[in-house]
Chains A and B, each alone.
Chain A
């Protein structure tokens, strides 16, 4: 069962880095982390044109197909997905609502993206800077000669900052209110148009006019997109109170939203773990142990949220080279502190990919997924393990392995 690589259209198809045709090879790996938490041993992965065509245990390999035979002990894992980074971007933002701003406009194929690849990050979500509602993020593959070649998905999510303050709540409420106002305006125009049509009919004039709705303000359009499910929101909260105010501000509005919960300082979000878990949204956190504010009581919030039912996404502890370098080790520490190992793997591969709506294309290893994978010298979460090679779209882009 061979899937045509043509199935994968979109921006990727235009990317020049994708091999043109007939680029077929096999990876034989003693142990593969699939990304959904499961592990496959003695796996054979058939890659064609940067996409995994077939994958299975001990599959026979046709003669003539080049084979990359991994050594005993080496572990394959899907390329890491970091959905929340501004590494490689610069500048600040504003404090108000600018949902129409696209982070992709800032994108520039600088050398900084090499750092992602060197540390095994094969997909990055980059968000616009600023407080309030700073704009929409872009999913990026950290390799390419032009910004266009790097973009995997534009408008991956809308970043929203929520605080327990009236201005933050107003940003969100006003957005939807303006969308409603626009609808009212359209309805009014429609009525006017219909009346004119009726009059024309009464006058027995034939009119071929077609109603054209007035275009929405670019600041309003993202809120329509949210309502229609074309866009998801990532809401950054600072404490349990801002979550409560978020729920209050969202009210009856029905749209997809997820949470960014920074653990870089002690935070009291454990008050709302259950509610968030019941909602089952994605929660983006650092792999850090935090203290109950004002005390010395440690909490493993990532593990708590994961257990409660939230879909955990782990981010490097700082958005910097040092953070990327220690990332897997930090995740390992969380596993040692009680985070489920399978959940931890999901939280750095499959979950962040599906958070950005790319779960069908990357973030895990199975048929039809991009051949974004990492080859480790051992268990990825052990501090002495080395990242031997990074493969992006079927090509080694980092590390010391040859194709």
Chain B
């Protein structure tokens, strides 16, 4: 009994749902495992409570973020890393199982700029407020990693250690047409660094034959430029106007590095140059700025910016206009709307996958952390979000956010969005189903197959454009049939077919 309570507690910020899950689970799990597991558990508690935590998301539609979509698949997370995902995943008995059938699993989103999510500035390890409201809200928006200042850190709710992924996110360089002196300096620095590298390479060659050869002096060589030219870092420029963008692109081509361009408002007018320079653009698709009327050429912002850049080989990262969480008024352009912002890039013509990548793996790349986060791949950090629909759809809610294998956000457990389209209770897998991962997706909720198929056919027949409320009404009789044993269930149950219809419709696309 005591063990079971522990299990419940370690089920991290547990919802009633998960608690129920572990209740079902506990007897079987501990019946077998208690003896062998005890020493391991003790060892685990010494440094990290969460050691040997196993989490299984069963039955979801997995979007890896790299193009792959696996329907009715399982993700197994051990010790905060993705251990396995796919169809033949063995779920260990001691795993905490979350039934995500009918829901989608995406990699956690990355905000390449933010403020206020960590409740503090300065050294995050010592001053983060891991319970602050903005962090929860950002998780509700699907963000699991964000840049604060120049630090890449995870939104590890309730933890004060292990947040920082990379303490120097960007290497900023300034190269703007408005500051010719500065431009000359940057050029001179880069040239000095290039000369040094050339001399160094020559020396390396010469050293083989002539042991007397002198190593070129590092004196006066700009270290930042050196790191840039050696490809150790990618410099970030702030550039919006066509002139600035062209200058950055040409500088990059001249010295052979790949710039990250923040802003890039008029990038669509010089996309080919930027593409040739191997640039990555950090854009805000909803930026509105008219062109400079004194100029003949094209200019100003364009909804197509992201799409045109992408077509020309520029990697696109999306950020909203405001980097904070803003609850005042109808804002809609803050970090809470990161996926929506990416959706606007798609509206402008960006392919859907590129839209997803623009807030996941491409963002991870510009931050130099793509080896750990940004996509669902074996061995990567288990930073995942579970949504009730297409991530980039405005109606979609994040149901769970998982950071390092721990559920840090649960829509139903937080007060912000729990009341809007509450998650149907049937999203919880029946107890029998949790024993093996293989069978789990196959035999879906007991009563549901009928309901599902009916829901599907009806949904398809009536067309996707059908109003939600109407669809829900139509489904009601089905619900009554299937949940007959449940008796007088809560009104939420009427939501159930509605959501299954939605998913069915969408996955059919």
Bind each other:
yes
Q: How far is the CB of A239 from chain B (nearest CB, A)?
A: 7
Contact among B9, B160, B415 with A245 in the assembled complex (CB-CB below 8 Å): B160
Q: Is the CB of A239 within 8 A of B126?
A: no
Q: Is the CB of A166 within 8 A of B123?
A: yes
Over the window 404-428 of chain B, the binary record of Cβ atoms lying under 8 Å from chain A Cβ atoms (1 yes, 0 no) is 0000000000010000000000000
A16 CA to B159 CA in the complex, in Å? 53
Kindly state whether residue A201 has any CB partner on chain B within 8 Å. no
Kindly state whether residue A207 has any CB partner on chain B within 8 Å. no
Within 8 A of A (CB), among B142-177: 158-161
Kindly state whether residue A295 has any CB partner on chain B within 8 Å. yes
Q: Is the CB of A241 within 8 A of B126?
A: no
Of chain A, the residue at the smallest CB distance from B13 is: A271
Q: How far is the CB of A352 from chain B (nearest CB, A)?
A: 28
Over the window 286-318 of chain A, the binary record of Cβ atoms lying under 8 Å from chain B Cβ atoms (1 yes, 0 no) is 000000111101000000000000000000000
* Chain A residues, CB < 8 A from B160: 164, 241, 244-245, 247-248
A17 CA to B459 CA in the complex, in Å? 88
Within 8 A of B (CB), among A215-240: 239-240
Q: Is the CB of B9 within 8 A of A164?
A: no
Within 8 A of A (CB), among B212-258: none
* Chain A residues, CB < 8 A from B123: 166
A241 CA to B271 CA in the complex, in Å? 46
Contact among B122, B132, B161, B415 with A241 in the assembled complex (CB-CB below 8 Å): B132
Q: How far is the CB of B474 from chain A (nearest CB, A)?
A: 37
Q: Is the CB of B129 within 8 A of A165?
A: no
Contact among A169, A240, A294, A297 with B126 in the assembled complex (CB-CB below 8 Å): A169
CB-CB under 8 A for A240 and B161, given A164-B120, A245-B126, A295-B415: no
Kindly state whether residue B200 has any CB partner on chain A within 8 Å. no
Q: Is the CB of A164 within 8 A of B127?
A: yes
* Chain B residues, CB < 8 A from A295: 415
Within 8 A of A (CB), among B109-130: 119-120, 122-123, 126-130
* Chain B residues, CB < 8 A from A294: 133
Over the window 146-181 of chain A, the binary record of Cβ atoms lying under 8 Å from chain B Cβ atoms (1 yes, 0 no) is 000000000000000000111001000000000000
CB-CB under 8 A for A240 and B131, given A169-B126, A245-B126: yes
Range class of the A interface residue count: 20 to 34
* Chain A residues, CB < 8 A from B9: 274, 278
A265 CA to B189 CA in the complex, in Å? 54
Kindly state whether residue A329 has any CB partner on chain B within 8 Å. no
* Chain A residues, CB < 8 A from B119: 164, 241
Of chain A, the residue at the smallest CB distance from B46 is: A252
Of chain A, the residue at the smallest CB distance from B9 is: A274
A224 CA to B100 CA in the complex, in Å? 52
CB-CB under 8 A for A165 and B126, given A241-B160, A248-B160, A295-B415: yes
Range class of the B interface residue count: 10 to 19
Kindly state whether residue A189 has any CB partner on chain B within 8 Å. no
* Chain A residues, CB < 8 A from B415: 292, 295, 297
Of chain A, the residue at the smallest CB distance from B14 is: A274
A295 CA to B414 CA in the complex, in Å? 13
Kindly state whether residue A268 has any CB partner on chain B within 8 Å. yes
Q: How far is the CB of A377 from chain B (nearest CB, A)?
A: 44
* Chain A residues, CB < 8 A from B127: 164-166, 245
* Chain B residues, CB < 8 A from A274: 9
Q: Is the CB of B133 within 8 A of A241?
A: no
Of chain B, the residue at the smallest CB distance from A246 is: B160
A326 CA to B426 CA in the complex, in Å? 50
Within 8 A of A (CB), among B310-349: none
Q: Is the CB of B158 within 8 A of A244?
A: yes
* Chain B residues, CB < 8 A from A165: 120, 122, 126-127
A297 CA to B122 CA in the complex, in Å? 32
Q: How far is the CB of B140 from chain A (nearest CB, A)?
A: 15
Over the window 244-277 of chain A, the binary record of Cβ atoms lying under 8 Å from chain B Cβ atoms (1 yes, 0 no) is 1101100000000000000000001001101000
* Chain B residues, CB < 8 A from A292: 415
Q: Is the CB of A268 within 8 A of B161?
A: no
* Chain B residues, CB < 8 A from A239: 129, 131
* Chain B residues, CB < 8 A from A164: 119-120, 126-129, 160
Q: Is the CB of B122 within 8 A of A166?
A: yes
Q: Is the CB of B131 within 8 A of A166?
A: no
A241 CA to B133 CA in the complex, in Å? 12
Q: How far is the CB of B403 from chain A (nearest CB, A)?
A: 15
* Chain B residues, CB < 8 A from A271: 131, 158
Q: How far is the CB of B45 from chain A (nearest CB, A)?
A: 12
* Chain A residues, CB < 8 A from B126: 164-166, 169, 245
Q: How far is the CB of B134 from chain A (nearest CB, A)?
A: 11
A240 CA to B133 CA in the complex, in Å? 12
* Chain B residues, CB < 8 A from A245: 126-127, 160
A65 CA to B460 CA in the complex, in Å? 95
A169 CA to B126 CA in the complex, in Å? 7
Q: Is the CB of A268 within 8 A of B122?
A: no
Q: Is the CB of B130 within 8 A of A244?
A: yes
* Chain B residues, CB < 8 A from A166: 122-123, 126-127
A165 CA to B159 CA in the complex, in Å? 15
A sample of 30 inter-chain contacts (CB < 8 A) reads A164-B119, A164-B126, A164-B128, A165-B122, A165-B126, A165-B127, A166-B123, A166-B126, A169-B126, A239-B129, A239-B131, A240-B129, A240-B130, A241-B119, A241-B132, A241-B160, A244-B131, A244-B159, A244-B160, A245-B126, A245-B160, A247-B160, A248-B160, A268-B131, A271-B131, A271-B158, A274-B9, A292-B415, A293-B133, A297-B415
A contacts, CB < 8 Å to B = 164-166, 169, 239-241, 244-245, 247-248, 268, 271-272, 274, 278, 292-295, 297
B contacts, CB < 8 Å to A = 9, 119-120, 122-123, 126-133, 158-161, 415
User: Closest 4 CB pairs between A and B?
Assistant: A241-B129, A166-B126, A240-B131, A271-B131
Given contacts A239-B131, A274-B9, A293-B133, 13 further A-B contacts (CB under 8 A): A164-B129, A165-B120, A240-B129, A241-B119, A241-B130, A244-B130, A244-B131, A244-B158, A245-B160, A247-B160, A271-B131, A271-B158, A295-B415
